[in-house]
Structure 1
Amino acid sequence: MNQLNKLPTRERILHMLKMSGSLSAKEITSELQITEMAVRRHLSTMERDGLIESKLIRQTMGRPTSVYGLTELAEGLFPKNYHTLTLDLLGELENEVGEETIRLLFEKRRDKLKLQYESSMEGIPFAEKVKKLAQIQNENGYMTEFEQNDDGNYVLKEHNCPISQIANRYNQACDCELSLFKSLLNTEVKRTECLAQDGERCIYIISNRE
């Protein structure tokens, strides 16, 4: 039996679109051997969830046909080994020019991120700055939440690290993230737990300046 047939209908549709490219509801129905109404219900839900998008294709004859394709969000559901290539390249670079160059690369990335985000931090209360930082990290895939302690300081927790495989090998990535937080918030920030050092999450204690 085809392994794809064992998947739930939603996952089967995603795999079909990944393998075949854009498909119409009729083509998906024909492949899945279920009713077109059921297919359209799945497509509607997946489009609402941001996993697929539709576009009209004009025909030489007849009415235009809607076809469905994967969004960038859906593409992220499929395995990718970018980190392996990155680690290989960093390893080669380290062997050629030394560890100091690796540190400089991470620092340049930190400086680039600072330039990218610092304007959004200007002129807002400190609490809003912490909220904005959490939002930025969430958008970058860190699954971030924050809260304010009784002492007035903030605790920011990252439950995921999109670059964990790299950070596990190169702690400079973690050091630069901490430095970035300090720079954007202009306050003392301490990391008390780190995913790259066998922690369950990354935890930052942010001193309240107000």
Structure 2
Amino acid sequence: MKKAGEVPQEELATGSRADRSTRDRVARSILDHGPSTVADLAKRLGLTQAAVRRHLDALLAEDVVQAREQRVYGARTRGRPAKVFALTDCGRDAFDQSYDQLAVDALDWIARTVGDEAVARFARERIEAQAGAYRAAVEAADPRERTQALAAALSADGYAATARSAPGQQQGEQLCQHHCPVAHVAEKYPQLCEAETQFFSELLGTHVQRLATIAHGDGVCTTYIPRGEPAPRGEAAPHGEPAPPGEPPQNHAHPSASTAGRNPA
């Protein structure tokens, strides 16, 4: 039992990991119980109100919670309404959601009732619907900087993308996406990866090679983009066949099997 004036054990912990754990508990309590006052949270979590305020300040700065006046039903009492803290949309997204499963269920239904080609068509139209910003960024860039421009546009959409020279003897670049918002869905439906790969090819005017994907279990989605004279705008070059490690993919007149959604290694 806590003695009078004794600081709760949670507040004795130091370091960012302990702070993060306690902030997660504060956010979880709001998720479970709805908008809460500082006093409510302190009582439920066994913290002092000062400690709760400190963690709420951090959550406010991270846009995880928002402060608002407590709604009063019936006759309002005298005095200033209490302030309550509620989760923002961003804060709710930090917890487990069923959106991935909902998307998989929807695509399962499309595949069963209409067919796999309908899934592929959906994937193509989905990437086309969000392609405007990518096209604008690439078309405004110097031809030698198109991959970097595409990486910046992808990062603005949450893909945490980078562009770098390909390692070894490869004469090209690698577009790396360190985050994929649809990775769990693409694990079952690689058509999403395939449509994205084809779009990159059309956008950059050259064949591209998908080397790895997060959906397949790789750490990063990696796309090889060869250097050279780009194809005419809006015209995708033929896809290349996988090449041995250290050698650039070879360009052939016939399209190769896509490696999107799986690791060719």
TM-score, reference length from structure 2: 0.65
* Segment of structure 1 superposing worse, 153-162 or 91-100: 153-162
Does 1:205 find its partner at 2:218?
no
Superposition deviation, residue 208 in structure 1: 4.7
The 4+ residue runs of structure 1 with deviation greater than 4 A are: 126-129, 149-152
Q: Distance in 2 between matches of 1:52 and 1:135?
A: 29
Residue in 2 that maps onto 1:62: 79
**RMSD, aligned CA:** 2.9
Gaps of 5+ in 2: 1-9, 11-19, 230-265
Alignment CA distance shift 1:67-1:184 (3 Å):
farther
Superposition deviation, residue 43 in structure 1: 0.7
Residue in 2 that maps onto 1:76: 93
Residue in 2 that maps onto 1:88: 105
Q: Which has the higher helix share?
A: 1
Amino acid at match of 1:144: A
Amino acid at match of 1:167: A
After superposition, residues 77-156 of structure 1 pair within 5 angstroms as 77-126=94-143, 129-149=146-166, 153-156=172-175
Alignment CA distance shift 1:184-1:55 (3 Å):
farther
Q: Distance in 1 between matches of 2:35 and 2:112?
A: 44
Amino acid at match of 2:222: I
Q: Distance in 1 between matches of 2:109 and 2:148?
A: 38
Q: Distance in 2 between matches of 1:111 and 1:173?
A: 12
Alignment CA distance shift 1:129-1:14 (3 Å):
farther
Decide which structure has the larger Cα Rg and report it: 2
Taking only the aligned residue pairs, the percentage that are identical comes to: 26
Choose between structure 1 and 2 for higher RCO, CA contacts under 8 A separated by at least 6 residues: 1
Gaps of 5+ in 1: none
Amino acid at match of 2:38: A
User: For 1:25, which of 27, 31, 38 is the aligned residue?
Assistant: 38
Q: Distance in 1 between matches of 2:204 and 2:48?
A: 55
Alignment CA distance shift 1:40-1:176 (3 Å):
same
Does 1:45 find its partner at 2:62?
no
* Segment of structure 1 superposing worse, 199-208 or 107-116: 199-208
Is the CA contact 2:211–2:223 (under 8 Å) kept in the aligned structure 1? yes
TM-score, reference length from structure 1: 0.80
User: For 1:163, which of 170, 178, 182 is the aligned residue?
Assistant: 182
Alignment CA distance shift 1:182-1:64 (3 Å):
farther
